[in-house]
């Protein structure tokens, strides 16, 4: 386990801060995305009264710390070392309740972003305009435009136009929260261009319409090819993963209940009524490739499977490089700790 203050810890595990006013939905988002809690169950969650830290380590790519901050905490209080927290942060997600008066939230957002930017200009600022399931389509667009305009005007008035804010309309009652988190996590994956390039090569040589590389635990897609993503396609992929995992938990275990429901043999084919085939294949024990293929292209399944084998091998090589970097940084971190002097001034002896 790496030290909180250790600069190597945030390189190996980027930190995501979840902030916003009380009852804006921060804890509900975390529970639904990373703990598979039903959205209806979040109605019974108690208000968070302390900082909750969680390590998300599903794979070498989806590997970060998420910090849930209570809305009532004044982390700019002199007794609170906010500089230390922002210094090691990869992304700051600020959640705004779209069904509430958001003037106070915008004021807190401005204060948070300006202070955080001074400490760490490399932070990605992500604004979740949340609970939009209760708004009409027109009201959603109007609310997003208003929040976008006000937030950017506040930054311009402070002479900070260069700060970039990304905005997302989210709800825990549909897949919008998963898609928004996918976009946030992708910015923290240094291998993203490599993964996208591999997917582009794979689909162009296999006659595939669209491909996603999914983390099966959280249903976050960590990469996709360069063609545009539409919400309906993403929702179908999420539903397919749920179906595959649910059926695997029933029929994929051994007679004595041992084994893992999702393994290297996991594969699924679903034919839709619009001549499209959904094809899922296991890449690693945490990752799945989900493809959209035309029926006529799927007749060349042998070619697709051969190209998938090459794709999986390339992904494993990317993993190996990533793990070497992680091990190297942990080793350097360990050496740095041992070189620090003890309280009496004598150097630490290596273990």
Per residue in 315-324, pLDDT tens? 989 888 877 8
Same domain, 107 and 159: yes
Confidence (pLDDT) at 157: 94
Confidence (pLDDT) at 328: 79
Write the DSSP assignment of 217-262 as a string of letters.
Answer: TTTEEEEE-SSPP-HHHHHHHHHHHHHHHHHHHHHSS-TTS-S-SS
Instruction: Using alpha carbons, list the distances in angstroms from residue 5 to 69, 124, 169.
Output: 18, 20, 34
CATH code assigned at 239: 3.30.450.190
Within a domain: 50: yes
| 12/334 Cα distance (integer angstroms) | 14
Confidence (pLDDT) at 340: 61
Same domain, 91 and 240: no
Within a domain: 351: no
Per residue in 26-75, pLDDT tens? 989 988 988 888 888 888 877 777 777 888 776 667 778 888 888 777 66
Residue 161 has pLDDT above 60, yes or no: yes
Same domain, 235 and 161: no
Within a domain: 279: yes
Confidence (pLDDT) at 93: 95
Per residue in 211-264, pLDDT tens? 999 988 888 899 999 999 888 899 999 999 999 988 888 887 777 766 677 888
Same domain, 178 and 312: no
How many domains does the chain divide into? 2
Find the radius of gyration of the CA atoms of the chain. 22
Which residue among 162, 188, 214 closes a domain? 188
Q: How many CB atoms lie within 10 A of CB 204?
A: 11
* Residue ranges making up the domain that contains 217: 191-324
Same domain, 296 and 310: yes
């Amino acid at each position: 386990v790496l030290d909180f203050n250790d600069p190597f810890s945030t390189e190996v595990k980027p930190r995501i801060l979840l902030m916003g006013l009380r009852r804006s939905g921060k804890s509900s988002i975390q529970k639904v995305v990373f703990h598979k809690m039903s959205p209806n169950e979040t109605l019974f969650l108690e208000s968070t009264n302390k900082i909750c830290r969680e390590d998300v380590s599903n794979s070498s790519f989806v590997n970060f710390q998420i910090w849930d901050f209570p809305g009532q905490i004044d982390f700019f209080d002199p007794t609170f070392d906010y500089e230390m927290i922002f210094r090691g942060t990869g992304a700051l997600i600020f959640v705004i309740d779209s069904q509430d008066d958001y003037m106070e939230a915008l004021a807190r957002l401005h204060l948070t972003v300006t202070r955080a930017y001074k400490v760490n200009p490399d932070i990605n600022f992500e604004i979740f305009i949340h609970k939009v399931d209760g708004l009409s389509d027109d009201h959603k667009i109007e609310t997003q435009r208003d929040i976008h305009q006000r937030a950017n005007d506040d930054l311009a008035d402070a002479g900070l136009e260069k700060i970039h804010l990304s905005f997302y309309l989210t709800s825990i009652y549909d897949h919008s929260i998963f898609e928004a988190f996918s976009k946030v996590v992708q910015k923290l994956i240094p291998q993203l261009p490599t993964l996208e390039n591999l997917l582009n090569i794979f689909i162009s040589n296999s006659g595939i319409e669209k491909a996603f590389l999914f983390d099966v635990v959280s249903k976050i897609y960590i990469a996709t090819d360069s063609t545009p993503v539409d919400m309906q396609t993403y929702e179908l992929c999420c539903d397919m993963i749920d179906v595959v995992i649910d059926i695997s938990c029933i029929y994929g275990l051994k007679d004595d209940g041992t084994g893992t429901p999702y393994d290297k043999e996991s594969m699924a084919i679903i034919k839709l009524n619009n001549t499209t085939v959904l094809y899922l294949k296991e890449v690693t024990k945490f990752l799945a490739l989900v493809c959209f293929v035309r029926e006529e292209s799927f007749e060349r399944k042998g070619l697709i499977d051969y190209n998938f084998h090459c794709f999986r091998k390339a992904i494993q090589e990317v993993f190996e490089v990533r793990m070497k970097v992680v091990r190297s940084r942990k080793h350097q971190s360990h050496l740095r700790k041992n070189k620090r002097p003890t309280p009496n001034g004598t150097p630490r002896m290596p273990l």
